[in-house]
Amino acid sequence: MRSGTVVLVLALAGCTPFAGPAAKTSATAARTSAAVTTVPASTPTAVPSPVVITPPAATSAAASSPAVPTSSVAVRTSVAPGIGRVPAASAPVVVLDPGHNGGNASHPSIINAPVPDGDGGTKACNTTGTATNAGYPEHAFTWDMALRVRALLTAAGVRVVLSRPSDTGVGPCVDIRGRLGGRVGAAAFVGIHGDGAPATGRGFHVITSSLDPAGAAVAARSSALAHAVRDAMTAVEPVSNYLGAQGLDARHDLAGLNLSTVPAIYIECGNMRNATDAALMASGAGRAALARRLASGILAFLGR
Ligand code: ZN
């Protein structure tokens, strides 16, 4: 099994676009994937949507009430009285976008398909993500983090939308993820990642788009979100010693940020190839601490 382990690590190496060749069917597969995730709100379908909306625990949605159905965004705005309790309209929505997905590595034709990058070009639909040297994958880390942060935010009365419903699927593509905040009227979009940098690099950094894609006002709010999260995270993890400045970085190549019409950040919570960061990120206690600080930063941005 040793050789199999080596292959897996190589396939997951780097939080960068998957390097394998795209299959002939990749474009069709990507289009299908996009169609699944962009079903118009007025057209409910049996195809599961990646969008999961969690009502805030502190609203009138009693714990004993049926959960708001998770089949599509449409549910949030069209659910009939008596079927589910719609979260308070005044509660802010936060999109949490756990990077990558557990099925990506086994579906290269889908995740290698080109999609708009928001900078006039294209990039891969999605990537496999990185992993610790011991094999703890980034997609599992981001998924666990998203669930922890969701619980903390919902307890604070925030509605949370996840960009994927599980850690066993494929995609969605980065352009779909990036547009999700606008689709659901989010106050903030937070992409959660772990980096795969050289082992000497340690620490977290928060990324915004350098393109100001949605205009100066949204860019200013993205910057405010980045600062709030950066300030909160330093209580549990040092700022990056290998990228950005003071825990902040700006990039033009991230579709998930370029295509957002709402305040948006990515956070690389640490370097999964660094032994100290990996130990923190691979432990439940470490992720709990990271999640508490990330949620705290988001709530500070929201003024809650
Ligand atoms: Zn990543």
What is the model's pLDDT at position 40? 31
What is the model's pLDDT at position 52? 52
**Contact 163/190 with Cβ under 8 angstroms?**
no
CA distance 244 to 300: 22
What is the model's pLDDT at position 89? 73
What is the model's pLDDT at position 90? 82
To the nearest 5 percent, what fractions of the chain are helix, strand and coil? Answer: 35, 15, 45
- Look up the CATH superfamily of 6-302: Zn-dependent exopeptidases (3.40.630.40)
Amino acid at 224: A
At residue 16, does pLDDT exceed 70?
no
Please confirm, yes or no, whether 138 is among the known catalytic residues: no
pTM across the whole model? 0.77
At residue 189, does pLDDT exceed 80?
yes
Gap from CA of 141 to ligand 1 centroid (Å): 10
User: Using 50, 70 and 90 to split pLDDT, how confident is the model at 53?
Assistant: low
Of 8-22, 82-96, 121-135, 162-176, where does mean pLDDT reach its minimum? 8-22
| Bridge partner residues of 224 (DSSP) | none
Of 23-27, 50-54, 226-230, where does mean pLDDT reach its minimum? 23-27
What are the boundaries of each domain within the chain? 6-302
CA distance 26 to 108: 8
- The DSSP secondary-structure symbol of 273 reads T
**Contact 277/203 with Cβ under 8 angstroms?**
yes
**Cα 238 to chain centroid, rounded:** 21
Gap from CA of 44 to ligand 1 centroid (Å): 31
Q: Which of the residues 240, 268, 272, 295 is marked catalytic? A: 268
Gap from CA of 135 to ligand 1 centroid (Å): 15
Which has the closest alpha carbon to 268: 159, 167, 145?
145
**Contact 297/235 with Cβ under 8 angstroms?**
no
CA distance 82 to 99: 35
Match 């998770």 to its residue by tokens. 70
At residue 24, does pLDDT exceed 50?
no
Gap from CA of 101 to ligand 1 centroid (Å): 10
At residue 292, does pLDDT exceed 70?
yes
